[in-house]
Amino acid sequence: MNEQELIELVVKAVDDKRAEDIIMLDMKGISLVADYFLICHGNSEKQVQAIARELKDVAAEKEINIRRMEGFDQARWVLVDMGDMVVHVFHRDERSYYNLEKLWGDAPSVDLNQILS
Protein backbone atom coordinates (compact mmCIF):
# COMPACT_ATOMS: atom_id res chain seq x y z
CA MET A 1 0.00 0.00 0.00
CA ASN A 2 1.44 3.34 -0.98
CA GLU A 3 1.43 6.51 1.09
CA GLN A 4 -1.63 8.10 -0.56
CA GLU A 5 -3.66 4.89 -0.23
CA LEU A 6 -2.83 4.70 3.48
CA ILE A 7 -3.84 8.34 3.98
CA GLU A 8 -7.17 7.75 2.22
CA LEU A 9 -7.82 4.53 4.11
CA VAL A 10 -7.21 6.09 7.52
CA VAL A 11 -9.11 9.31 6.80
CA LYS A 12 -12.14 7.40 5.49
CA ALA A 13 -12.07 5.03 8.47
CA VAL A 14 -12.22 7.82 11.06
CA ASP A 15 -14.73 9.77 8.98
CA ASP A 16 -17.00 6.70 8.78
CA LYS A 17 -17.29 6.83 12.58
CA ARG A 18 -18.03 10.55 12.45
CA ALA A 19 -14.72 11.78 13.87
CA GLU A 20 -14.67 15.56 14.02
CA ASP A 21 -12.13 18.18 12.98
CA ILE A 22 -9.93 15.70 11.11
CA ILE A 23 -6.51 17.12 10.29
CA MET A 24 -3.32 15.54 9.06
CA LEU A 25 0.14 16.92 9.60
CA ASP A 26 3.08 16.09 7.35
CA MET A 27 5.78 15.25 9.89
CA LYS A 28 8.56 14.35 7.43
CA GLY A 29 11.78 16.01 8.53
CA ILE A 30 10.13 17.20 11.76
CA SER A 31 9.54 14.03 13.76
CA LEU A 32 11.44 10.77 13.79
CA VAL A 33 8.33 8.97 15.08
CA ALA A 34 6.21 9.00 11.92
CA ASP A 35 5.76 10.66 8.53
CA TYR A 36 2.17 11.70 9.30
CA PHE A 37 0.04 12.51 12.32
CA LEU A 38 -3.71 12.34 11.94
CA ILE A 39 -5.58 14.17 14.68
CA CYS A 40 -9.32 13.98 15.27
CA HIS A 41 -11.80 13.77 18.12
CA GLY A 42 -15.01 12.12 19.20
CA ASN A 43 -17.70 13.56 21.44
CA SER A 44 -17.92 10.67 23.90
CA GLU A 45 -15.82 7.80 25.21
CA LYS A 46 -17.88 5.35 23.16
CA GLN A 47 -17.31 7.31 19.97
CA VAL A 48 -13.56 7.57 20.63
CA GLN A 49 -13.44 3.80 21.10
CA ALA A 50 -15.53 3.22 17.97
CA ILE A 51 -13.13 5.35 15.90
CA ALA A 52 -10.10 3.48 17.27
CA ARG A 53 -11.78 0.10 16.76
CA GLU A 54 -12.62 1.00 13.16
CA LEU A 55 -8.98 1.87 12.53
CA LYS A 56 -7.92 -1.47 13.97
CA ASP A 57 -10.49 -3.38 11.89
CA VAL A 58 -9.64 -1.61 8.64
CA ALA A 59 -5.92 -2.12 9.23
CA ALA A 60 -6.44 -5.84 9.87
CA GLU A 61 -8.57 -6.16 6.75
CA LYS A 62 -5.77 -4.60 4.65
CA GLU A 63 -3.04 -6.50 6.53
CA ILE A 64 -1.52 -3.32 7.93
CA ASN A 65 0.35 -3.88 11.16
CA ILE A 66 -0.72 -1.75 14.10
CA ARG A 67 2.41 -1.52 16.19
CA ARG A 68 0.68 -0.25 19.27
CA MET A 69 -2.63 1.13 20.52
CA GLU A 70 -2.65 3.02 23.79
CA GLY A 71 -5.40 4.67 25.82
CA PHE A 72 -8.30 2.62 24.44
CA ASP A 73 -9.84 1.71 27.82
CA GLN A 74 -9.88 5.29 29.15
CA ALA A 75 -10.92 6.69 25.73
CA ARG A 76 -9.61 10.17 26.47
CA TRP A 77 -6.67 10.05 24.04
CA VAL A 78 -6.18 6.92 21.97
CA LEU A 79 -2.89 6.69 20.11
CA VAL A 80 -2.77 4.26 17.19
CA ASP A 81 0.74 3.65 15.87
CA MET A 82 0.56 2.43 12.28
CA GLY A 83 4.26 2.86 11.53
CA ASP A 84 4.52 5.70 9.03
CA MET A 85 1.35 7.22 10.47
CA VAL A 86 0.31 7.86 14.05
CA VAL A 87 -3.38 8.52 14.64
CA HIS A 88 -4.41 10.56 17.68
CA VAL A 89 -8.09 10.10 18.56
CA PHE A 90 -9.01 12.52 21.32
CA HIS A 91 -12.10 12.95 23.42
CA ARG A 92 -13.49 16.41 22.62
CA ASP A 93 -12.60 17.67 26.11
CA GLU A 94 -8.96 16.57 25.88
CA ARG A 95 -8.11 17.80 22.41
CA SER A 96 -7.85 21.48 23.21
CA TYR A 97 -5.90 20.75 26.39
CA TYR A 98 -3.11 18.88 24.56
CA ASN A 99 -3.39 21.03 21.42
CA LEU A 100 -1.06 18.94 19.25
CA GLU A 101 -1.80 21.17 16.28
CA LYS A 102 -0.09 24.06 18.06
CA LEU A 103 2.69 21.90 19.49
CA TRP A 104 3.56 20.73 15.97
CA GLY A 105 2.64 24.07 14.39
CA ASP A 106 5.69 24.03 12.12
CA ALA A 107 4.37 20.90 10.35
CA PRO A 108 2.44 21.57 7.14
CA SER A 109 -1.15 20.34 6.93
CA VAL A 110 -2.18 17.78 4.33
CA ASP A 111 -5.20 18.80 2.27
CA LEU A 112 -7.93 16.24 3.00
CA ASN A 113 -10.78 18.00 1.17
CA GLN A 114 -10.86 15.57 -1.77
CA ILE A 115 -10.96 12.55 0.55
CA LEU A 116 -13.64 14.00 2.81
CA SER A 117 -15.92 15.36 0.08
Q: Is the pLDDT of residue 1 over 90?
A: no
Radius of gyration of the chain (CA): 13
Distance CA 12, CA 29 (A): 26
pLDDT-based confidence at 46, cuts 50/70/90? Answer: very high
Q: Is the pLDDT of residue 12 over 90?
A: yes
CATH H-level superfamily of 3-104: Beta Polymerase, domain 2 (3.30.460.10)
Q: Is the pLDDT of residue 31 over 90?
A: no
Q: Is the pLDDT of residue 117 over 90?
A: no
Distance CA 51, CA 44 (A): 11
**pLDDT (mean) for 58-80:** 95
Of residues 46, 45, 65, the one with CA closest to residue 55: 65
Q: Give me the pLDDT at residue 105, please.
A: 85
**pLDDT (mean) for 97-103:** 91
